[in-house]
Amino acid sequence: MGELDIKSLKADIARRMDGAVEVLHHEFSGLRTGRASTGLLEPVMVNAYGSDMPMNQVGSISAPEPRLLTVQVWDKGLIKAVEKAILESGLGLNPASDGQTVRIPIPQLTEERRQELTKIAGKYAEDARVAIRNVRRHAMDELKNSEKDGKISKDEHRDYAEEIQELTDNHIKKIDEILEHKDKEIMQV
């Protein structure tokens, strides 16, 4: 009985830890580096047809050059709304349109701004680590209760706890590698 229980517990733990890593990836895609990334504009909301819509639902976002983003707006009537959304996004970008395409040059980052961005990236990574540790703590509590209820033996508890710790260590390592990569990307001039 204990064996099936641990398999579903481990699958659930892995799924939730992977979720924390995915959230980190998503947050990092919105962090501006010196090079153009389509992920930068994805969270920007455009006021279109009476409601707020994500940028990628009103046009195609692309990065034709390392320091330029473009949004090919599908409905010409939304060009001004797209420009306004980019200006008000707080990303410090200045869009310009030529008919149906909005061009967004990506300015160089100052050294001070790079330092600020690495701190923000570090905070996102720490939030992800905390989420993973919370998943581990929940799983360890579950093991403790299963042993107390006689569903698993003391040896099984120890073995499963080691497996859960290994899952945790692997996910924390993955977060550290993602952060290291993002920091390099931000600091690259």
For domain 2-30+110-187, the CATH superfamily is Ribosome-recycling factor (1.10.132.20)
- Per-residue confidence (pLDDT) for residue 32, from 0 to 100: 67
Domain range annotation of the chain: 2-30+110-187, 38-105
DSSP 1-25: -HHHHHHHHHHHHHHHHHHHHHHHH
CA angle 66, 71, 76 (to 5 degrees): 155
Is pTM beyond 0.75? Reply is no
Residue-level pLDDT at 36 = 76
Residues of the chain whose pLDDT is less than 70?
1-4, 32-34, 189
Alpha-carbon distance of 104 to 86, in angstroms, equals: 9
Considering only CA atoms, which of 16, 6, 15 is closest in space to residue 134? Answer: 16
Write the pLDDT tens digit of every residue in 36-80. 778 788 878 999 888 999 898 999 999 898 889 999 999 988 999
Longest CA–CA span in the chain (Å) reads 71
Protein fold of 38-105 = Gyrase A; domain 2 (3.30.1360)
